Amino acid sequence: MAHNNIAIYPGSFDPITNGHVDLVKRTLRVFNRVMVVIATNPGKDGCLFTLEERLQMVREVFKGLKNRVQADSFEGLLVDYAERKGATVIIRGLRAVSDFEYEFQMAMMNRRLKPKLDTFFMMTGESEFYTSSRLVKEVVSLGGNVSGLVPANVLKNLKRKFNG
């Protein structure tokens, strides 16, 4: 039975990929509601897409699931955002072993900051195993084809960014 608690799925989503979409769908089998939350200050180099563009792409992808999947953004600490929203679970995807250390550090830091907030890790589907927003952007910027790795609306936006 689906759990009534809200799960939040944070990230940069620059842009959302089919790996992210797969993870949201898996999460919906366990939780009634998922909030896809985009960090405005992930402390990384500039994003390709503006926050508004990233939010809009996520909303378009899940427009058929509006009641169960919401998109939002946050500034500051993720744990503070989660508390404001009454969320008790953070969802993160794990692909290869190489994700583990970074994810482990974040999960432990978040737990230290808010002991009652748990991080649930989900394995992405095998077809999404090698997909990352970073690689998708790199491939498109060099003229490669990423159809099948990102939703159709994202593909269109990527092409527009790189081909003007």
CA angle, residues 44, 45, 49, in degrees to nearest 5: 105
The residues that bridge with 122 in the sheet, in sequence order, are: 93
When asked if residue 77 is in the footprint of ligand PNS (CB under 6 A), the reply is yes
Nearest distance from residue 164's CB to ligand PNS, in Å?
27
Backbone φ and ψ of 89, nearest 5° = -135, 135
Three-class SS state of 37: strand
Q: Which of 162, 143, 132 is nearest to 13 (CA)?
A: 132
- Given the rule CB under 6 A, which of 6-14, 63-71, 144-152, 155-163 is the region that contacts ligand PNS? 6-14
Query: 9, 11, 36, 87: which one contacts ligand PNS (CB under 6 A)?
Result: 11
When asked if residue 106 is in the footprint of ligand PNS (CB under 6 A), the reply is yes
When asked if residue 10 is in the footprint of ligand PNS (CB under 6 A), the reply is yes
Q: Which parts of this chain interact with ligand PNS (CB under 6 A)? A: 10-12, 39, 42, 77-78, 106, 109-110
